[in-house]
Amino acid sequence: MRKTTRLRQLITRPEIAFLMEAHSGISARIVEEAGFEGLWGSGLTISAGFGVRDNNELSWTQVTDHVAFMTETTSIPLLLDGDTGYGNFNNMRRLVRKLEQVGVAGVTIEDKVFPKTNSFLRAEVQPLADIDEFCGKIKAGKDRQGDPDFVLVARVEALIAGWGLGEALKRAEAHHDAGADAILIHSRQSSPAEIFAFLDAWGGRSPVLLVPTKYWRTPTADFRARNVSAVIWANHVLRASISAMQAMAKQIHDDESLLNAEPNVAALHEVFRLQGDGELESAEKRYLPVRATPLSAIVLAAGAGADFGGLNANVPKAMLKVQGRPILARLLDDFAHFGCRNTVVVRGYHAEAVDVAGARFVDSADFETTGEAHSLALAEAELTAGTLVAFGDIVLKRHIVQALLEEATNAITIAVDSALAGAGEPDRVRGDRADAGRFSFDGVRLEAIGDAVPPRDSHGVWIGLLHVGADGVTWLRDAIGAARTDGTLARASIADLLARVHAAGHPIRVVYSRGGWANVNDLAGLVDASGL
């Protein structure tokens, strides 16, 4: 059913209808979700949302462009407060045609002089429009509408302006004869007496809409008893939001913190839901080409380091500078170069000093008595397909990351420096084949890692960088769980976890490179890194 048809049915059925004010796309969706059958596009609240007065300071094209978002985001009909029609009969014709184009179901125009002033401001000095001229607007609007069910409501301001019941009835009759689909009778009195007097005299000759902003104490049963067609709650969504925004802004200003604010505001995911993000996500899956797994990273930077000649007295080694930049910042830039936009850093020693742009942080309270595997376990929830896991004290050239990503699979892929084959360095690696002299050797699989590899049998050293695919995530989490169960997690290394994965029969891929990196674990390593 067209929205115009639904609005027409709402105001002509025997049962009273209720329209709730909305002033934006998100407020319109909230109103619909609350259960209302129709929206009132209030001139006052739309103007207020723009920070201007309800005096036609918004142009009619600005209004129609704005309400287009409100109609697009909802399925219920919208009746727009069209002020005086924004000019003469010709403006009215253009307004109706444009409103139909953007999906508005109906418009209300009031019999005042353009530019208008809000009815509750200085009402006694607001002149009313000439009856014949106003009826010409009604006829022009009805003649121009393309949809026969588009609703045009004539709003009578005689009671507001103090012209009395007789004038109100005279104008309502003229507007009805000119083709108005309904009459909106307005009042600024706190009592509904003059409204009820109008209803009694009108006798139901056409649908009547009320806006009980001032006589809000009146029971709805009284409206039903007098066969009111529709009641408009005209500005309460905006007024509620103003009170909430004022209180929240004041609290955050006074607290200089979000600690007391966050529990009292809508969660971000609720904002995204109201914006329709779920529909966009579904559409992306349908229409966009399949994308590569997004790249993320977990950087383990909890340790203090060994001998740096006092350089790390107040900062962890990951924040020591190489060529004028912190090691950690350089590493994150290297990852970002390959599309990594989500990095989690595990901090420990002098955690407050680990501050790099573009990262989130997990803190290890037990960094002095725990190792790498424990740090990774703290960020286990961040382990997803496409995660890089790296030590926070490595400086490397980007071709190493590129080679790792080019060879990465759904399993686990580790970067190994084959130039250190046969050396007694930690994290020794033996593959099913040694580096054959190429930059990388396709299809090399891990056979052993760590202390289980005698130096003379090693094919290189793992440099502290690996990639985890979809299957590898499960395997690495299983290894963490097993180490947690047998009590070895606290002191285990990442190499120990990889050894568990291998022992469980899962493949780990080896990508060889030669040099191009430095492990900054002491002052000598810091000197080596300065040459990269």
Q: What are phi and psi of 74, to 5 degrees?
A: -130, 165
Rounded Cα gap, residues 142 and 145, in angstroms: 5
Rounded Cα gap, residues 53 and 345, in angstroms: 49
Check: CB of residue 59 under 8 Å from CB of residue 114.
no
- HSE of 210, CA atoms in CB hemisphere, 13 A: 27
- φ/ψ region of 317 (left if φ > 0, alpha if ψ in -120 to 50, else beta) reads alpha
**What are the structure tokens assigned to 307, written together?**
């001998």
Rounded Cα gap, residues 91 and 143, in angstroms: 13
Check: CB of residue 78 under 8 Å from CB of residue 3.
yes
- Of 54, 393, 417, 496, the catalytic one is 54
In DSSP terms, 80 is beta-bridged to 41, 107
Using the 8-state DSSP alphabet, how is residue 432 labeled?
Answer: S
Check: CB of residue 415 under 8 Å from CB of residue 466.
yes
Closest listed residue to residue 421, CA positions, set 498, 531, 499, 513: 513
Specify the DSSP element, H or E, that contains 92.
Answer: helix 89-101
Cα–Cα distances in angstroms (integers) from residue 2 to residues 100, 101, 182, in the given order: 11, 13, 19
Rounded Cα gap, residues 104 and 233, in angstroms: 18
**What residue ranges in 17-61 does DSSP mark as E strands?**
17-22, 38-41
Is residue 65 among the annotated active site residues? no
Closest listed residue to residue 392, CA positions, set 451, 335, 433: 335
Q: Sign (positive/negative) of CA torsion 196, 200, 201, 205?
A: positive
**What are the structure tokens assigned to 64, written together?**
């129609």
Rounded Cα gap, residues 393 and 305, in angstroms: 9
Q: Which residues are catalytic?
A: 54
